[in-house]
Amino acid sequence: MDILVKREALTIHVGCQFEYSAEHDVPAICLVRPSGFDGVRLITETWMTTPPVPYHDYVDLYGNVCRRLTLPAGLATIYYDARVAAPGEAEATDPSVPQTAVEDLPDDVIAYTLPSRFCLSDELYDRAWELFGNTVPGWTRVQAIVQWVHDYVKFGYEFAAPTTTSSDVLAKATGVCRDFTHLGIALCRAMSIPSRYVFGYIPDIDIEPSVAPMDFCAWFEAYLDGRWWTFDPRNNERRRGRVIIARGRDAADVPMVTTYGNASFKGMTCWAEQVTSR
């Protein structure tokens, strides 16, 4: 098992802005606020809509904090900015962790063994066992899946599409981070490993800063030996400063913005950076 060095908490600056245009008022749900999962604590936050509109918050089926509002006709902007305190350590790893037998899984975990909108584990069953049937069940098997997805799928923003499923990713071998994640989840579930989708902010800490614009990130958690463990097929490395926004079965459960009407998406920006003391 890894010995983690205790580090001081990080202060992370996160946020985003979405721009829409609509001919009529359009109801919307916004999911961009840090959830408070995994020891992350909200320090300050600012919400702003232009023009200002009424809103209310609620907690969905998966424990995520959502905001309901109505985008007015014309141009509208949703702006969110926050500072959070996050654990200073990267996520834990332990190659000795075994897989939990299905009959021993908690009732609230069973749903994460089943196929979902983008994670078609039933379609990938034979392929998963062909590729990973000889691996050691548990953390080692999940990491083998993550390594394979990381090496197999070519990353590129030009490959992004809102309807791409895990089977599409397997066939085309291209995608963005959510596609890497959906394929990893589907392969795990095909082998009866509960896996759930996670998305949030990841600052560039301890790595070479990216030259591409900052974006939201997706990864997944697998349930092994009584707890959830973090895995990231896109980056395939432990990272510090992950700030979770939401969890669900796949991306269909946790869209950043859902609009109920003809609202034209005009643009988005996202930021995530460590705040250093001076």
Give yes or no: residues 51 and 138 share one domain. no
pLDDT tens track for 110-124: 999 999 999 999 999
Are residues 243 and 193 part of one domain? yes
> Against a cut of 0.85, is the pTM above it?
yes
One domain, residues 110 and 20? no
Q: For position 28, which CATH number holds?
A: 2.60.40.2250
Residues 198 and 146 in one domain: yes
Q: How far apart are CA 60 and CA 66, in angstroms?
A: 7
Same domain for 244 and 261, yes or no, is no
Q: pLDDT tens across 157-207, in order? A: 999 999 999 999 999 999 999 999 999 999 999 999 999 999 999 998 888
Helices in the chain by DSSP H: which ranges? 125-132, 139-152, 166-172, 177-190
Residue 68: which domain range? 10-88+256-274
Q: Single out the residue of 80, 88, 84, 121 nearest to residue 220, CA to CA.
A: 121
Bridge-based pairing of strands 74-86 and 41-50 is antiparallel
In a shared domain, residues 231 and 176: yes
Split into its structural domains, the chain has a count of 2
Q: Is the pLDDT of residue 2 over 80?
A: no
Do 107 and 213 have their domain in common?
yes
Q: Are residues 47 and 157 in the same domain?
A: no
pLDDT digits (tens, 9 = 90+) for 126-160: 999 999 999 999 999 999 999 999 999 999 999 99
Average pLDDT value for the chain: 94
174 within a domain of the structure (yes/no): yes
Asked whether residue 79 is domain-assigned, the answer is yes
Same domain membership, residue 83 and residue 190 = no
3-state secondary structure of 264: strand
Spatial contact of 51 and 263, defined as CB atoms under 8 Å apart: no
Same-domain status, 143 and 222? yes
Mean pLDDT over 233-258 rounds to 95
Q: Which residues contact 187 (CB under 8 A, 6 or more apart)?
A: 121, 124, 127, 128, 131, 132, 145, 148, 149, 166
pLDDT class of 215 with cuts at 50, 70, 90? confident
Residues 138 and 174 in one domain: yes
DSSP 77: E
Give Rg (Cα) of the chain: 19
